[in-house]
């Protein structure tokens, strides 16, 4: 798996992201420099700042996205703080299938989600808004 996580995602496709999600269970401190890796592999992709100059970098130090309890059996609570707008939450299983999608309105910092119907296993929870994007792992247990 370690050899897959360091492949350029533009070359390896969704398998790279799935391998990274699984590897994140064991080591969540790894940094992927896709710009350099993809450039070395011959894939060039302009950053959004270069393509759309009016985009500004947003400082994310006051933004918080957490899921608890993790692992969980019945319900999880998703916490978002400091976002500039509504947050879109999407949940994927290890096969990359969309399990659930919903929004958290700005000003509403928490959302309880019933996960009883989900199969036991590993899920990745994506949080996106106009100024933030992050992925957190979740383990569903019996």
Q: Provide the residue-wise pLDDT of the chain in tens; the chain has 142 residues.
A: 778 888 888 788 888 888 888 888 877 777 777 777 777 777 765 544 454 444 444 444 577 889 999 899 999 999 988 877 888 999 998 888 899 999 988 877 889 999 999 999 999 999 888 877 888 899 999 8
Classify residue 5 by its DSSP letter.
H
Residues 68, 37: one domain? no
Cβ neighbours around 81 below 10 Å, total = 11
What range defines the domain where residue 17 resides? 1-57
DSSP state of 106: T
pLDDT score for 52 = 46
Tell me: do 81 and 106 sit in the same domain.
yes
CATH number at residue 103: 2.60.40.1930
pLDDT value at position 12? 82
Domain count of the fold of the chain: 2
Domain boundary among 57, 85, 100: 57
Measure the CA–CA gap between 90 and 127, rounded to whole angstroms: 7
- Give the pLDDT of residue 120: 93
pLDDT at residue number 44: 62
49, 66: one domain? no
Dist. CA 114–CA 117, nearest whole Å = 8
What pLDDT was estimated at residue 17? Answer: 81
37 and 83 share one domain: no
Which CB contacts under 8 angstroms, 24+ apart, belong to 31-37? 32/5, 32/6, 34/8, 34/9, 37/6, 37/7, 37/8
Last residue of a domain, one of 57, 72, 94: 57
Handedness of CA 45, 125, 110, 106 (dihedral sign): positive
Taking the C-alpha atoms of residue 76 and residue 14, their distance in angstroms, rounded to an integer, is: 26
Report which of 64, 86, 68 is spatially closest to residue 77, judged by C-alpha positions.
68
pLDDT at 81: 84
């Amino acid at each position: 798996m370690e050899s897959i996580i360091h492949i350029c995602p533009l070359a390896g496709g969704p398998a790279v992201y799935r391998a990274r999600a699984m590897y994140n269970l064991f080591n969540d401190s790894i940094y992927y420099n896709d710009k350099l890796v993809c450039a070395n592999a011959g894939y060039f992709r302009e950053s959004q700042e270069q393509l759309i100059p009016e985009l500004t970098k947003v400082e994310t130090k006051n933004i918080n996205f957490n899921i608890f309890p993790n692992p969980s059996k019945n319900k999880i609570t998703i916490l978002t703080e400091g976002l500039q707008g509504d947050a879109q939450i999407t949940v994927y299983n290890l096969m990359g299938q969309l399990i659930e999608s919903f929004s958290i309105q700005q000003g509403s910092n928490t959302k309880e989600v019933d996960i009883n119907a989900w199969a036991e296993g590993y899920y990745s929870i994506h949080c996106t808004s106009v100024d933030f994007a992050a992925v957190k792992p979740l383990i569903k247990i019996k």
